[in-house]
Structure 1
């Protein structure tokens, strides 16, 4: 019997600019992580709720995450256009110069957060996993998609600061309400 050849996995056209998160569990997100040096990247780190007491909005975790994002953005020459820290996830809108710098930024921010939170610099963390999935990233193509992502991240930040959650979220907001998000 002839051995089958392993062809590179073909990604569905809808997910060609996305990678990580829950896509990783299906064949849709198993290709190489699409990154762009020209277009912005929407990046999401999802937290395992049982691993961090108080979530990411706890003062210590919040301070640690914002400090690490700023520190390693400067180190790897990644421009953080916008970020929002929620109780169980972090949204970032970034631009990078080189693919290797963006990859290093993602890897180091996630790793340093876990090491500093659990104080496991010399040994492996024996507790539950801190991150629920691999980081989700999406290359944002086009001005309309860019505006939607910016408004989405801003809406998440407003909801973290006390705005009531709505199922329709961005779809149900008028132009006036969208402008009020940025006030």
Structure 2
């Protein structure tokens, strides 16, 4: 009986490997950012839709995001294993060598993207480009790693024209997983 009382009090366990995003609006998201140099990290950056016209998939913003990611991944020794740029958010699966380098990467990439984008739009920083602070989650275990990889790949396929399905995250069979990784955008005539 006593043990059941303690388990209901432990609400931080669900979010102990997560930080940022909408979690910052609650008390459970205000601790130190959990980072790991041994495990991969799932990073999500979300923009305000009203600030960036055409979203991140418009040619200029898409190219700019790719350039910024590559430049600062090299500078901070961060390995970008997988990424997907959507209209209103970016998914990254990364690994880093040092905590300080990862923190710098999380700070500099959104800042440089926003700075370069607002310089070209001449908005003088009146509106915030990013909706939330960067969301990160340390991916523990192979099954969680495989789920995140499939999720990022599914997002990329949907951005390239795959139809959206409500049951897309219910668990993939081996055949569905193989189709997911073989999906390419069909050329339009």
TM-score norm. by structure 1 comes to: 0.90
In structure 2, list runs of 5 or more residues that go unmatched. Answer: 1-9, 183-189
Higher relative helix content: 2
Contact 1:19 1:136 in 2 (8 A): yes
Q: Deviations over 1:5-42 (max 9, x none)?
A: xxxxx971000000000100001111000000000000
How far apart in 2 are the matches of 1:167 and 1:136?
Answer: 23
How far apart in 1 are the matches of 2:137 and 2:166?
Answer: 23
Q: Check if 1:168 corresponds to 2:167.
A: yes
Indicate the SS of the match to 2:157: helix
Indicate the SS of the match to 2:176: helix
RMSD: 1.7
User: How many pairs were matched up?
Assistant: 172
Q: Aligned pair in 2 of structure 1 residues 116, 108: CA closer, same or farther (>3 Å)?
A: same
Structure 1 position 99, deviation (Å): 0.5
Structure 1 position 127, deviation (Å): 2.2
Structure 1 position 166, deviation (Å): 1.2
How far apart in 1 are the matches of 2:21 and 2:55?
Answer: 19
What corresponds to 1:179 in structure 2? 178
Contact 2:80 2:92 in 1 (8 A): yes
Structure 1 runs (4+) deviating above 4 angstroms are none
Matches within 5 A, 1:107-118: 107-118=107-118
Indicate the SS of the match to 2:61: helix
In structure 1, list runs of 5 or more residues that go unmatched. Answer: 1-9
What corresponds to 1:145 in structure 2? 144
Q: Deviations over 1:79-131 (max 9, x none)?
A: 000000000000000000000100111111100001100118xx994321100
Structure 1 position 172, deviation (Å): 5.2
What corresponds to 1:60 in structure 2? 60
Of the structure 1 ranges 11-20 and 69-78, higher mean CA displacement relative to structure 2 is found in 11-20
Indicate the SS of the match to 1:182: helix
What corresponds to 1:44 in structure 2? 44
Contact 2:44 2:91 in 1 (8 A): yes
